[in-house]
Amino acid sequence: MRAQSRERAAPTKARLPVVVLACALLAACAGKKRDTQGETDARIVGSATPSDQQEPVPPTTALDPVQVRAAYSALLAGRMDEARRLFAAFGAAQRVLPARLSLVLVVFHVEGGGADAAAPAPASTPAAPAAAASAPVAEDPRPVPAAAAPAKSVTREEVERDLNGASAEPVLAEDAAPVAKAPAAPSPSRQPADERQPIRGLRKRVFEIMARSKRTAAHFHYVDEVDVAAITGLKDRAKPSAEKAGVKLTFLPFLVKAVVAALERHPRLNSVFDDAAMELVLRKTYDIGIATSTEAGLMVPVVRGCDRLSILEIASEIDRVARAARARKSPREDLGGSSFTITSLGRLGGLMAPPLLNYPEVGIMGVHAIKKKPIVRGDQIVIGEVMNLSFSFDHRVIDGDVGAKFAQEIISYLQEPNRLVVEMA
């Protein structure tokens, strides 16, 4: 067994992953003390015997702090032979070390770099007391230092300071271990007929915003359907007045007004999250972003002050900002600074498609196509006009019940549009 252990301990550059494993274990166990360190090492290493467990090393064993720092410098610099030799000298005292250092010793034992690999086993063990002279004494493979140094004990703070790079004897740049870089994303295989289109301009901006939204916010989704028969009737009745005013009236301004009315009742949704300051910024204005598809990519022009606008005024503003966005002529004041966004796929809406948040906003609503389907109205089954709404919220700051109540408030306004007429500006 000892010969196999020495073979496993042969120095090789392949042992460098031991450093990574040791450092990961150190970080995971920061600040924790193992009361049964000796027994745990015996189980993991397989070198301690029952007699070792019955007679633990006294907790007064001291270590030379200079040796500790030298051992860590060798370990981090990848000088494995030197590190094994220095760590082997700590074998007799490892039970009283902080858990972080003891874990390194355990890793070195498992990898074959502990005491067995650093020095031959002692020829014999000290004689047992007279009362136990008849009992066989098991051989302890861990070497004992020739003499305990009278230097001061290594404190937990000293070891942690060394691990964090604040040693009194800094490691030179040429001795530092190289920092592993994250592997590059694999490139797709190339085909002769491939056409490559560079991502730049607006498309690159959309790329960055969507990726940041997905990896930053904790999205949760809520989907429900709404019977739009009542709001359809209101739109049809208002259409002649809109045509006289030169305004094209669609469902979207009614949706905007319903969202604003719900935001007034749920002000936490009319906000943006400041990740750097860890603050939720509640907006006092109601500036609604309208996701607009253009040839260059998705844009989100903003209709500002929607709480102060009528249905017809909102319809006129939506038409203006959408036209400017598609023509790539949006003025600066029409872009950015929204507090909530609505995105509509119109006739392409499908059943549901929960949208990504328009970061740093904490809520967004997706609008889907209106479809005829059987519904229960009162106690009767009738053919109704139904539209699905898909919501996404940032679960870091918006709880599930808050998002659901907000969505139901919007649905209530759409199914009872008289409330909008009474409450709108």
Residue 384: inside a domain, yes or no?
A: yes
Are residues 341 and 213 located together in one domain of the fold? yes
Are residues 165 and 223 located together in one domain of the fold? no
Tell me which H or E stretch contains 365: strand 363-377
Are residues 94 and 155 located together in one domain of the fold? yes
Any idea what the CATH number is for the domain that residue 373 is in? 3.30.559.10
Q: Is the pLDDT of residue 399 over 80?
A: yes
DSSP letter assigned to residue 284: S
Are residues 301 and 400 located together in one domain of the fold? yes
> Catalytic one among 109, 227, 399, 401?
399
Are residues 327 and 418 located together in one domain of the fold? yes
The HSE-up count of residue 424 (CA atoms within 13 Å, CB side) is 20
Residue 138: inside a domain, yes or no?
A: no
> Catalytic one among 368, 379, 395, 401?
395
Residue 186: inside a domain, yes or no?
A: no
Please tell me the distance from the alpha carbon of residue 59 to that of residue 63, in angstroms, as a whole number: 12
Average pLDDT score over residue span 384-405: 95
pLDDT at 92: 46
Domain count, the chain: 2
For the chain, the distance separating the N- and C-terminal CA atoms, rounded to the nearest angstrom, is: 87
Residue 312 structure tokens? 């017809």
User: How do residues 4-50 score in pLDDT, each as one tens digit?
Assistant: 444 444 444 444 444 444 444 444 444 444 444 444 443 333 333 33
Residue 131: inside a domain, yes or no?
A: no
Residue 189: inside a domain, yes or no?
A: no
Are residues 150 and 259 located together in one domain of the fold? no
**What percent of the chain has pLDDT above 70?**
61
94 neighbors 118 (Cβ within 8 angstroms): no
Are residues 328 and 395 located together in one domain of the fold? yes
Long-range pairs, 299-303, Cβ under 8 A, ≥24: 299/202, 299/325, 299/330, 299/335, 300/335, 300/338, 300/341, 300/358, 301/325, 301/330, 301/334, 301/335, 302/334, 302/335, 302/336, 302/337, 302/338, 303/256
282 forms beta bridges with 271
pLDDT at 364: 97
Are residues 266 and 147 located together in one domain of the fold? no
Residue 136: inside a domain, yes or no?
A: no
Residue 92: inside a domain, yes or no?
A: yes
For the chain, give percent helix, strand, coil, nearest 5.
45, 15, 40
Are residues 149 and 260 located together in one domain of the fold? no
Range of the domain at 356: 201-423
Are residues 246 and 339 located together in one domain of the fold? yes
Which is it for the CA torsion 27, 31, 35, 37, positive or negative?
A: positive
Please tell me the distance from the alpha carbon of residue 235 to that of residue 242, in angstroms, as a whole number: 10
Average pLDDT score over residue span 393-409: 96
Task: Please confirm, yes or no, whether 109 is among the known catalytic residues.
Answer: no
Residue 187: inside a domain, yes or no?
A: no
Say how many C-beta atoms besides its own lie within 10 A of residue 198's C-beta.
Answer: 7
User: How do residues 105-159 score in pLDDT, each as one tens digit?
Assistant: 444 443 444 434 334 444 444 444 444 344 444 444 444 444 444 444 445 555 5
Residue 190 structure tokens? 């190339």
Are residues 409 and 361 located together in one domain of the fold? yes
User: How do residues 322-375 score in pLDDT, each as one tens digit?
Assistant: 999 999 899 999 999 999 999 988 777 677 788 999 999 999 999 999 999 998
By C-alpha distance, which of 12, 24, 11 is closest to 103? 24
Are residues 305 and 163 located together in one domain of the fold? no
User: How do residues 244-268 score in pLDDT, each as one tens digit?
Assistant: 989 989 999 999 999 999 999 999 9
User: How do residues 81-112 score in pLDDT, each as one tens digit?
Assistant: 777 777 676 654 444 444 444 444 444 443 44
Please tell me the distance from the alpha carbon of residue 220 to that of residue 403, in angstroms, as a whole number: 9
